[in-house]
């Protein structure tokens, strides 16, 4: 795009320099806008993933203590298996939209404050103590009164 311009005096030289500087500024502005639009096109999928992640609780700023970084193995497994169990049992005949919404809600509900190793161990302790108490109550029905009084033990 080079054009040969005949410059005959100093005034034409200064005018040509001004036009070249103006063209340079226009081209810089054009390429800057193209660069920004390209960056926005690249960032838009990441913005969407960031919004989905913040909805799920992976990178929300207000939940500093409730991040998956603080989660133990019970929380991580519950985030995976609770939606799986829901889809296989309760949501068997429902559509994809309802399943996906309930999966997102169930993953959001399982956080390290509510579901962790300590709550699981306390739940197991409660269940085992309940089972032991029911087994002991059944044993009390078989009461042994000892040797009958009219027996021949003399």
**Domain C-terminal end among 56, 75, 97:** 56
8 Å CB contact between 99 and 91: yes
Rounding to the nearest 10 degrees, give the CA dihedral for residues 46, 48, 50, 53.
-130
83, with CB counted inside 10 A (0-12, 13-18, 19+), is: buried
Cα–Cα distances (Å) from 135 to 121, 128, 130, 138, 141, in that order, read 21, 11, 9, 5, 11
pLDDT digits (tens, 9 = 90+) for 22-47: 999 999 999 999 999 999 888 888 88
56 and 107 Cβ atoms separated by less than 8 Å: yes
Task: Look at residue 30 and tell me if it is in a domain.
Answer: yes
User: Are 34 and 50 in the same domain?
Assistant: yes
Q: Which of 56, 88, 103 is the last residue of a domain?
A: 56
Question: Looking at the domain assignment, is residue 146 inside a domain?
Answer: no
What is the Cα Rg of the chain in Å? 38
Decide which of 56, 76, 96 is a domain's last residue. Answer: 56
pLDDT digits (tens, 9 = 90+) for 110-123: 877 778 888 889 99
| Together in a domain, 52 and 79 | no
- Look up residue 68 and give its DSSP letter: G
Query: Are both 26 and 49 inside the same structural domain?
Result: yes
Q: Assess whether pLDDT exceeds 70 at residue 153.
A: no
Q: Whole-structure pTM over 0.95, yes or no?
A: no
Domain range for 8 is 1-56
């Amino acid at each position: 795009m080079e054009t040969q311009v005949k410059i005959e005096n100093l005034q034409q030289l200064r005018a040509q320099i001004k036009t070249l500087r103006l063209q340079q500024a226009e081209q810089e502005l054009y390429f800057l806008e193209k660069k920004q639009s390209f960056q926005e096109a690249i960032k838009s999928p990441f913005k969407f993933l960031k919004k989905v992640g913040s909805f799920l609780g992976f990178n929300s700023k207000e939940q500093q203590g409730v991040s998956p970084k603080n989660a133990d193995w019970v929380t991580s497994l519950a985030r995976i298996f609770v939606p799986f169990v829901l889809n296989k049992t309760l949501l068997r005949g429902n559509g994809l939209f309802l399943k996906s919404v309930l999966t997102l809600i169930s993953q959001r509900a399982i956080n390290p404050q509510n579901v962790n190793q300590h709550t699981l161990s306390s739940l197991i302790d409660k269940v085992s103590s309940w089972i032991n108490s029911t087994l002991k109550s059944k044993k009390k029905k078989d009461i042994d009164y000892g040797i009958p009084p009219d027996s021949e033990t003399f």
